Amino acid sequence: MGENSGREGQMQSLRAVAQEEKGPPSLERRQSVDPSVVEVSPRSSLRLVGAQFNWSLNIWTIIPGYRRGSRYVTAVLSSSLPGLALLLPPATLAALAAAWLQEDCPGLNYTALVTGAAPSQAALWAKSPGVLAGRPFFDAVFAQLNCEVSWSLPEGSKLVPVAKVAEVRGPAHCLLLGERVALNTLARCSGVASAAAAAVEAARGTGWTGRVAGTRKTTPGFRLVEKYGLLVGGADSHRYDLGGLLMVKDNHVVAAGGVEKAVQGARRAANFTLKVEVECSSLQEAVEAAQAGADLVLLDNFRPEELHLTAAALKARFPSVGVEASGGITLGNLPQFCGPHIDVISLGMLTQAAQALDFSLKLFAEGTTPAPHTRRS
């Protein structure tokens, strides 16, 4: 009972602070930014550092001022999907495809003796609704096997089953050697893109203009595919790895001996290209982080009402600090977390819980009409 009364007291204090707040510009004024002046910083590019892929494409490096102009960046991403493939270095794609094929067939491929090497063709069919994503990875797999892919639908297409998506041509044993690997990558990437698109649609339906983002909760060895899927779906990829953003989490705070010490340590470690974000569980921690020099504050596992009151109180004192909401957010409750003082909403479920789409690859005889189901006479 004491804990509940303390919680309610904190909520009343937050409400009082929020009522006194004059607040930042209204949503309407924030939306009036001219898209012609939105700039993309040099850090929004991809860079290859040794063998590590550093993805810096996120809200904090795309535009200055966090929320300002974010709707225009979304429009650029969604209207130029073919360009997203340029983010993927060819050498990285080839290395990933080779590793996936090696995993699936590290030794003898006995079924190659069954199929032979005669020139063959197969049709790719989409059998579940969603967003098509992952064409570059599908292409990379078959490029390793000297097969050619011709696409019927562009990246980011809305899939209405049953739809023919592409055709693949090459030696029969090569088509079948790449079949499962290529389908796995396409199904998984499309599933992430579909979840991301649903989340963005839910957020935009409230009139909110902030950024929906993924997290670093990705499948080991498959992060590039899933981060790319987020972008195709219209969401933000968030930091690609530990080097993309200096994020101070709760365990870092404990290890450092407090929020202020943790932020000071982060500031010393960060170079001029890195921003510092601090995970906070209360308004007191958020204020302490902002005072210590945090660029962004992550309000983790807050209930919606408490989240908005805390964010309003923080923005009243530190209007330039970005606010990210995360923890316990799903497609069902996402609209409750959208608000004028929230700049980013991140959801781990976009990659952790995304349902893979259903695709199939069916061989067909030259001169016949492809069908989604194999026909045998």
Which one of the listed residues 127, 158, 217, 261 is annotated catalytic? 217
Q: Supply angle C-alpha 187, 135, 123, rounded to 5.
A: 75
217 given a catalytic annotation = yes
Give residue 133's identity as a one-letter amino acid code: A
Distance CA 266, CA 279 (A): 13
**In 3D, which of 345, 352, 372 has the Cα closest to residue 361?**
372
Distance CA 141, CA 139 (A): 6
Instruction: List beta partners, residue 350.
Output: none
**In 3D, which of 281, 276, 288, 285 has the Cα closest to residue 248?**
276
Beta carbons of 351 and 214 less than 8 angstroms apart: yes
Q: What is the dihedral of CA 251, 252, 257, 262, to 10 degrees?
A: -150
Q: Supply angle C-alpha 224, 219, 240, rounded to 5.
A: 40
Give residue 253's identity as a one-letter amino acid code: V
Q: Which residues are catalytic?
A: 217
